[in-house]
Each structure stands twice: as structure tokens, then as C-alpha cells.
Copies of this chain bind each other. A is one copy, B any other.
């Protein structure tokens, strides 16, 4: 018996919304997200695990990195509904606007490891 989770809870945190919008641009590893959000890596990891647990995103290990990406085939229809119209549900504000710019310019080989 699977208990019905409240998908809105996963979306109630502003930083998790920012992450979703960033992943809309392209898959990212934890250290790239950490760099952009200016949070501790452990905090970002937690947010990602919430989004993954709910089915919004998938992880894909690539060597020492873990890429996170939007889940294209979520089990839950409500999650599909949100993800397929992310711009409708989560409008851009200044913060998200600049996040997206940073994602476009982000290069893992420069951001990480230095």
C-alpha cells in the first residue's frame, strides 16, 4: 500500500524550483548546482534527493559525477503535468532568470575540481 504523497510539498521550496528550472536547460552535476545556488553541497544533495524521490528528476552516474536530469516519463500524471509545462507552473523571476544564464555558461570542467 503506497501512501499518497503530497507532490506540492516537494515544490514548496524555492531552491527546489530553481533546480528544476535549471535542469530544464540541461542536465547538471551536484557541484554545478552548488556553485550556482551558492549553497553547501550537502544541502543541494538533499534537495535533489527529495526531487528524485518524488519522481521529478533522475540521476545518472557518469564517472565521479552524478548528473541529474528532468524525468521524461514520470509515473505520476500530476508530475508529468507539471514538468511538461514547467514555464507555466514556475514563472521566471530575476533569480531564476540569472540562474538560467549561469547554467548556459556553466562548464563542469571549470566549475568543479579546481
Take A9-B12, A12-B9, A12-B12 as given contacts and tell me if A4 and B88 are in contact as well, using a CB distance cutoff of 8 Å. Answer: no
Q: In the assembled complex, which residues on chain B have CB atoms less than 8 Å from the CB atom of A14? A: 6
Question: CA A12 – CA B17 in complex, angstroms?
Answer: 14
Within 8 A of B (CB), among A7-26: 8-9, 11-12, 14, 17
Q: How many residues from A make CB contacts under 8 Å with B?
A: 15
Closest to A17 in B: B6
Q: In the assembled complex, which residues on chain B have CB atoms less than 8 Å from the CB atom of A17? A: 6, 8
Q: In the assembled complex, which residues on chain B have CB atoms less than 8 Å from the CB atom of A108? A: none
Question: CA A11 – CA B91 in complex, angstroms?
Answer: 17
Residues on A close to B: CB < 8 A? 4, 6, 8-9, 11-12, 14, 17, 77-78, 81, 88-89, 91, 93
